[in-house]
Amino acid sequence: MKIIIVGCGKVGLTLAQQLSQENHELTMIDEDAYRLHRVTDSLDAMGIVGNGVNHVVLQEAGVETADLLIAVTGNDEKNLLCSVIARKAGHCQTIARIRNPIYNDEIEFLKREFGVAMIINPEYAAAEEIFRIFQFPSAIRVDSFAKGNVEFLQFKVIKDSPLIGKKLYQMHQEFKLKVLIGTVIRGDEVIIPNGSYEFMEGDTVSVVAQKMVAIEFFKIINMAKDRVRDVMIAGGGEIGFYLSKLLVNAGTGLTIIDNDKERCEYLSTEIPDATIIYGDATEQDLLIEEGLENVGGFAALTGVDEENILLSLYARDVSTAKTVTRVDRGSFNSVINEMNLGSIIYPRIITSDSILKFVRSWNTDSDSEVETLYKLADGKAEAVEFILKGDSSFLGIPLQALKFRPNTLIGCIYRNHQVIIPSGQDTLKAGDSVIVMMAGYRVSSIREIFEK
């Protein structure tokens, strides 16, 4: 596909890296020449210095023949205007990043009236992910498939876990639960496990199951925790604002600390059920005074990665709180992932995954379409949900009779409001939601998971 990306900030860069790996033809637009060239010098992409709302600039970028334009500048109105001009000038599909809370309840109206195919709000998406983690604190990452009917959970095998030394087939024989171990991250390696896989301390394991089954699983492995009932947030920016709304609506006790007095006054008005503290969250005495030692959850959501990392490390040192750390930059991921930070949230990656799902759905064939997509281990593995359609040759055949590519696993089938953890005798049918785990390759259609 021919894709134009307007904006070369953190989200634009992450998108360009992902789309370039998938062999799309990219053109980048940004008014900052240095930032633009830093992207195009490292990727196979053309760069144009200019304003994305300028018709001449868009023409130079090839908007008349482009398939998709993605506007991810730091200005919501500019992203919308850029999308409208692109639709008029080139009739291409458009995606716009819209972050301001005043637009959050008007997404469908904006899509309809401005002709935007997709509107993405990275801050709200990040807040939703953090909210899910606080609802299921046993896991370090919580995602969902099949419109929320199937949980996709990641956890780390801790010291003294009953899983250590146990093989996967032994776990299934002993636990007798309908859960599927989808992927294992061990150091730099991503494993799609078979029955002989043996759990080790430090493994990051993903589980696919219905929510109640997942809760029972975590009880058995001594990692069960009730949902977090009181949270402290360091940083009252957009993510903190959206998260606060979700938490308050769920009846969660909430304290927000921010060092901007005007912002605190705004939060006090918009979130009257929360306790708003004007102060510096990096001051240890303030954190202790406001009850950090006793809270169930702590989210470090300031705009500075280094502050967030230090805050989470301190919170884990003085409390038993479930910690969530916001990280915006893409460098030093391997180092950050080795720190004891609890759950780490990368808003730019959440945004990139959503847009990649849209792009792959557009590229797919008549067999299936991509419904949900999650990247794991810096993109080394993926969990993809497909909606099956048509009259494909692989439908109705027992899974054990189909030939899958290496490092591929059918994780779950959702059919007629029923969750099926598949065995070799199960078959795929039109209309199924099918969750596939894969490592070492990527697909746009479920047909691509089979050996040719």
How far apart (Å, rounded) are the C-alpha atoms in residues 128 and 320? 22
How far apart (Å, rounded) are the C-alpha atoms in residues 70 and 1? 13
Of 328, 345, 362, the last residue of a domain is: 345
Q: Is residue 111 part of a domain?
A: yes
410: tokens are 């059918």
**Which CATH number fits the domain that encloses residue 264?**
3.40.50.720
| 32 and 87 both lie in a single domain | yes
Chain length of the chain: 452
Q: What is the DSSP pairing of strand 189-191 with strand 180-186? A: antiparallel
Where in the sequence is the domain holding 66, given as residue range(s)? 2-120
| 84 and 22 both lie in a single domain | yes
Of 120, 138, 165, the last residue of a domain is: 120
- Residues near 400 by beta carbon (within 8 Å), at least 6 away in sequence: 424, 425
Q: Which residues pair with 419 in a beta bridge?
A: 414
Cβ(27)–Cβ(48) under 8 Å?
yes
Cβ(308)–Cβ(327) under 8 Å?
yes
DSSP codes joined into one string, 314-348: HHHHH---EEEEE----TTHHHHHHS--SEEE-HH
| 315 and 377 both lie in a single domain | no
Provide the CB-side half-sphere exposure for 226 (13 A, CA).
Answer: 4
DSSP helix/strand/coil, 39: helix
Write the DSSP symbol of residue 259. Answer: S
DSSP helix/strand/coil, 76: helix
| 114 and 7 both lie in a single domain | yes
| 240 and 339 both lie in a single domain | yes
Find the helix or strand (DSSP H, E) in which 361 lies.
helix 347-363
User: What's the Cα-to-Cα distance from 304 to each of 319, 325, 327, rounded to whole Å?
Assistant: 22, 11, 8
| 86 and 46 both lie in a single domain | yes
| 61 and 112 both lie in a single domain | yes
Q: Which residues pair with 277 in a beta bridge?
A: 257
| 355 and 341 both lie in a single domain | no
Q: Is residue 98 part of a domain?
A: yes
| 326 and 367 both lie in a single domain | no
| 208 and 157 both lie in a single domain | yes
| 341 and 249 both lie in a single domain | yes
pTM recorded for the entire structure:
0.90
Torsion sign across C-alpha atoms 226, 191, 372, 409: negative
**Which CATH number fits the domain that encloses residue 396?**
3.30.70.1450
* Neighbour-count burial of 135, counting CB atoms closer than 10 A to its CB (0-12 exposed, 13-18 middle, 19+ buried): middle
* Neighbour-count burial of 34, counting CB atoms closer than 10 A to its CB (0-12 exposed, 13-18 middle, 19+ buried): exposed
| 165 and 247 both lie in a single domain | no
Q: Is residue 416 part of a domain?
A: yes
* pLDDT by 10s per residue, the chain, length 452: 899 999 998 889 989 998 998 889 999 999 999 999 988 888 889 999 999 999 999 999 999 999 999 999 999 999 999 999 998 888 889 999 998 888 888 888 989 888 899 999 989 999 999 999 999 999 999 999 998 899 999 999 988 899 999 999 999 999 999 999 999 999 888 999 999 999 999 999 999 999 899 999 999 999 988 899 999 999 999 999 999 999 999 999 999 999 999 999 999 999 999 999 999 999 999 999 999 999 999 999 999 999 999 999 999 999 999 999 999 886 677 677 778 788 999 998 888 888 888 888 775 556 778 888 998 887 889 999 999 987 788 999 999 999 999 999 999 999 999 999 998 999 999 999 999 999 988 888 899 999 87
Q: Is residue 255 part of a domain?
A: yes
- Count of domains in the chain? 4
Of 105, 120, 135, the last residue of a domain is: 120
How far apart (Å, rounded) are the C-alpha atoms in residues 213 and 218? 9
Cβ(370)–Cβ(444) under 8 Å?
yes
Task: Find, among 31, 32, 34, 29, the residue nearest to 12 by Cα.
Answer: 29
Q: Is residue 225 part of a domain?
A: no
- Residues near 209 by beta carbon (within 8 Å), at least 6 away in sequence: 150, 151, 153, 177, 178, 179, 180, 217, 419, 421
Q: What b/e sequence results for 179-192 when a residue is b if at least 16 CB atoms lie within 10 Å of its CB, and e otherwise?
A: bbbbbbbbeeebbb
Cβ(190)–Cβ(183) under 8 Å?
yes
